[in-house]
Amino acid sequence: MTREHTVAVKSKGGSVTHCAGDRFAISLKSGEVKSVWADGSPITKSEFDAVLAPTGLFEIAEQPPAKPAAEKKGA
Amino acid sequence: MGIPSRMKDRAVVLSKLKQANYATLVTDVNLGAGKRFAPNAAVFGQPEPRYYNNREQTMKAHDYTTQIIETERELAEQLSFDGDTWLLAWMLAFGLGKVTTTQPNAGPNPTAYQHVFRPLDPATDGKDLPVTTVYTEVANVAALKRRLHACMVRELAIDFPPSSVVQVSCTLQGSGQITTGALAGIPALSAMTLLKSNDMQFFYGAQAGPTDISSEIVRGSVRFGFSWNPDDDNSRAPGGGLYRSRAWVGMPSPTLEFQRFVDDAASTPHDEWLAGTIREVKIVVEGAQIGPGPEKHKLEIRGLAVIPQGVRIGQSGDKSVYQYTISPEHWIKEGANDVLTVTVLNTESSYLV
């Protein structure tokens, strides 16, 4: 099983809310970044392409780099 | 027992929120934050049980029915309201299934929100319509105060009667399940922001450039409707018991009809119909200003590619009158373009989420 690529999204400008069907819903304030739908499930790249990109109002946000693993004390 | 009283206690409370899923209701707190309306006309749904009985065994084991078992339960409501912009948007959200909300003038006018409704795309958005919980009080008795679970807008209609305000009506389809009991903290009746039929502007003609033909429209003749024709046959999954357990969309059915005065020396609608010319049609109704403006409460219905049937139905004075009918099969999908968009401007910050 392959793990789907997930993304973080932000609005291209201003606040924007989008809801499609019973599942996909997201509400973003200006400058806000979210990586999950309103129901808490992660936003996959394919969902972004199919659901959010066609609106022309959302873009993929740079995700903050993962924190490096803590160094062992006394190593 | 006295003479029956008036129906002043009937009420409908609508939430802008969709249910997270069929089984999870909108909470009472969120319903209390919703809007309360008194419909002009309503057929408040009674839960309708469907039964199995064993009358088939007449003249066999016994002559009369000896057993009845409830197998399914239905619930539908019909509501009609004056055309308030919040209500229009609510019906479109749960009727079409997809909405994008932005602030067209966020800085100077932060309370103005623009909602663009589209029929959901089953290929990308999923085939389940969003559903919500509706609270109704049919009368001021406990058994008739109830939450209707998992309601979708099965079909909606928008009318523009002359000398009046826009009218909206819809049929709600619930899962069949109800919860009785008064809603604590029921909101006060909402003040309505109405759109007037006489403020309608009607555009029709070439795609991306329709012209204003408002002066040629027979007033009172315009009517828009939409239904997803939900898939009743598959609305009940095994394990769902008495109730519906999903709201799959079926065949989308937008409709628009209007009548148009045409100069008696012209046959344009007839010729266009025979030629199959693709046209754009747009209806715009603006109401009161929102905040400092320039945004106004607004409804805009836009068919981006339609082939109307144009039939001459008679004449009025020296003008011919043509009936234009855009039936569901005459809304054309061109590539990735939208077929239908409905835009509402009001002061609600979002719908469905």
Return the closest-CA partner of residue B130 out of B238, B22, B239, B244: B22
Collapsing DSSP to helix, strand or coil, B95 comes out as helix
Q: Which of B152-156, B180-184, B263-267 has the lowest mean pLDDT?
A: B263-267
- Chain centroid to CA B310: how far? 26
Closest chain B residue to A15, measured at CA: B102
- Identify which of B167, B168, B193, B159 has the alpha carbon closest to the alpha carbon of residue B287: B193
Please name which of B235, B255, B189, B141 lies closest in space to residue B39, comparing C-alpha atoms. B189
B interface with A, Cβ–Cβ < 8 A, is: 18-21, 93, 97-103, 106, 120-121, 123-131, 247, 336, 349-353
Residues constituting chain B: 353
Q: Which of B219, B247, B220, B222 is nearest to B233 (CA)?
A: B247
Strand partners of residue B173: B76, B152
pLDDT of residue B47: 84
Most B CBs within 10 Å: which of A18, A22, A48, A52, as the mutation test of the B interface?
A22
Is the bond leading into B292 cis (omega within 30 degrees of zero)?
no
A-B contacts at Cβ under 8 angstroms = 76
Mean pLDDT in residue range A59-75: 64
Residue A68 vs residue B64, higher pLDDT? B64
Q: Which of B175, B173, B212 is nearest to B24 (CA)?
A: B175
Q: Taking CB atoms and an 8 Å cutoff, what residues of chain B touch A15?
A: 102-103, 106
- Give me chain B's average pLDDT, please: 93
Name which of B5-14, B269-278, B298-307 the model is least confident about.
B5-14
pLDDT band at B258 (very low <50, low <70, confident <90, very high): very high
Work out the pLDDT band at B7, boundaries 50, 70, 90: low
A14, A27, A57: residue with CB nearest B353: A27
Find chain B residues with C-beta within 8 A of A14's C-beta: 102-103, 106
Find the mean pLDDT for residues B15-26.
95
Interface of A to B at Cβ within 8 Å reads 14-27, 30, 38-39, 50-51, 54-55, 57
Q: Which of A16, A30, A39 sits opposite B101 (nearest CB)?
A: A16
| pLDDT band (50, 70, 90) for residue B9 | low
Rounded distance between C-alpha atoms, residue B27 and residue B185, angstroms: 12
Which of B101, B120, B350 has its CB closest to that of A21?
B120
pLDDT in tens, B26-43: 999 999 999 999 888 777
> Shortest Cα distance from A25 to chain B (angstroms)?
6
Q: CB-CB: which of B101, B125, B349 is closest to A21?
A: B125
Q: With contact defined as beta carbons under 8 Å apart, do B89 and B98 qualify?
A: no
The pLDDT value given to residue A62: 77
Condensed to tens digits (0 to 9), the pLDDT of residues A22-56 reads 999 999 999 999 999 999 999 999 999 999 999 99
Q: What pLDDT, in 10s, does the model give residues B58-117?
A: 888 888 999 999 999 999 989 999 999 999 999 999 999 999 999 999 999 999 999 999
Of B93, B128, B353, the CB nearest to A38: B353
* Residue B61, burial from CB neighbour count under 10 angstroms (0-12, 13-18, 19+): exposed
Sign of CA dihedral B182, B188, B193, B196: positive
**Per-residue confidence (pLDDT) for residue A8, from 0 to 100:** 96
Does residue A69 surpass a pLDDT of 80? no
The rounded Cα A50 to chain-centroid distance in angstroms is 14
Helices (H), chain B: 28-32, 85-96, 122-125, 268-275
Nearest Cα of chain A lies from the Cα of B156 at a distance, in angstroms, of 17
Is A50 in Cβ contact with B352 (below 8 Å)? no
DSSP state of B55: G
